[in-house]
């Protein structure tokens, strides 16, 4: 009995301590935008007006700071960017969760009007992100990140989100 009483606090402490190291590792890593879903239509990452647009990428870190926030870096249409995000909830079984991005910082290089508009749309979607889902489609990981439709009512507004593939 003496050993059991000694072990219980240790076991309890092991169960309660959570060290966030990979926000559920499927999200960690580098992703590139393949398409953008805009309510009821799919667009290219930078729209059809932006010719020769570079890849829009984001790299999610897997190590949390003391406040439970993770960092990210990436490359938009013109500038490099960085910031933090926090996983609010996650259903690991179906790969869906909620998250929030902190302020996004970026370099301040100039670009064409079309690339500037692309970058603005990209940052806007990230800043308004409330959810994400990760699935495996045809053997490849697909990340959807943004603001998803919340209700079951028929409408043409299915949300606004990025559709990304792993690099």
Q: In the chain, pLDDT over 90 holds for what percent of residues?
A: 67
In this structure, are strands 42-43 and 57-60 parallel, antiparallel, or unpaired?
A: unpaired
The mean predicted confidence, pLDDT, of the chain is 85
pLDDT grade for 154, boundaries at 50, 70 and 90: low
What domains are defined for the chain?
20-166 (2.40.128.270)
Q: State the DSSP string of 27-48.
A: S-EEEEEEEEEESS-EE-TTTT
Per-residue pLDDT, averaged over 92-104, amounts to 92
Query: For residue range 6-60, what is the model confidence (pLDDT) as tens digits?
Result: 444 444 444 443 444 444 578 999 999 999 999 889 999 999 888 889 999 999 9
- Identify any residues that bridge with 71 across adjacent strands, giving them in sequence order: 84
pTM above 0.85, yes or no: no
What whole-number distance in Å separates Cα of residue 59 and Cα of residue 81?
A: 10
């Amino acid at each position: 009995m003496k050993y059991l009483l000694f072990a219980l606090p240790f076991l309890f402490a092991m169960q309660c301590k959570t060290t966030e190291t990979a926000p559920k590792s499927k999200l960690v890593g580098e992703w590139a935008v393949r398409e953008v879903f805009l309510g009821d239509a799919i667009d290219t990452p930078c729209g059809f007006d932006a010719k020769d647009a570079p890849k829009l990428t984001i790299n999610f870190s897997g190590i949390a700071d003391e406040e439970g926030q993770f960092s990210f870096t990436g490359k938009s249409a013109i500038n490099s960017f960085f910031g933090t995000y926090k996983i609010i909830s996650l259903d690991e079984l179906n790969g869906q969760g909620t998250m929030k991005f902190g302020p996004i910082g970026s370099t301040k290089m100039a670009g064409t009007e079309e690339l500037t508009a692309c970058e603005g749309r990209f940052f806007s979607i990230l800043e308004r992100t409330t959810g994400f889902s990760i699935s495996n489609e045809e053997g490849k990981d697909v990340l959807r990140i943004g603001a998803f439709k919340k209700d079951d009512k028929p409408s043409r507004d299915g949300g606004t989100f990025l559709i990304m593939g792993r690099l």
